[in-house]
Amino acid sequence: MGPSPHRTVPLARDQRPFIVLDIHHLPFKDKSIDYVYCSHVLEHVADPELACREIMRVAKAGYIETPTLMKDALFAWAGMIHHRWHVTRIGTRLVFFEYDERRRQGVRTTQWRDAVLGEFHHPDQDLFFPNQDLFNTCLEWKTGFEVTVFRLPPASS
């Protein structure tokens, strides 16, 4: 797999199989996977309800992680790498909010991203790295979880 907006170096692979799938239609039997790790995927999907149902259908348990609105806004990533949703967790419920254009733009600068992900130490790194629970929505689940999706109203003509 070549570069993508998320990855600029080739994917490191070993001898294990690597399969590219549609998360909305997983080709696995019900509960055939002991544990699924789904990190930074669901913010991109067309249908979060269907994707989450598929994850719960094929897996017995798992872990889900997505960036928060705060992370996307500060890094100005939502528009750059096509995040469709920002996600929050309430108990065992994932709540998806479809981005409007203004929130997708974030802070409209790369200042924060350059400081935090820069090659040299910057004081903002001391704020960012120890506080990953504020910058990522995380859910570890067993048997299932709930999903609520808030879509934007259709654009008026």
**In the prediction, which pLDDT does 157 show?**
59
Q: What is the pTM of this model?
A: 0.89
pLDDT tens, per residue, the chain with 157 residues: 566 666 667 878 899 988 889 999 999 999 999 999 999 999 999 999 999 999 999 999 999 999 999 999 999 888 887 899 999 999 999 999 999 999 999 999 999 999 999 999 999 999 999 999 999 999 999 999 999 999 999 876 5
Tokens in use for 153? 């109203």
**In the prediction, which pLDDT does 11 show?**
78
Mapped onto helix, strand or coil, the DSSP state of residue 113 is helix
Instruction: Say if CB 116 and CB 128 are below 8 A apart.
Output: yes
**In the prediction, which pLDDT does 18 show?**
86
Instruction: Say if CB 120 and CB 93 are below 8 A apart.
Output: no
Which among 155, 157, 142 is positioned nearest to 60, based on CA atoms? 142
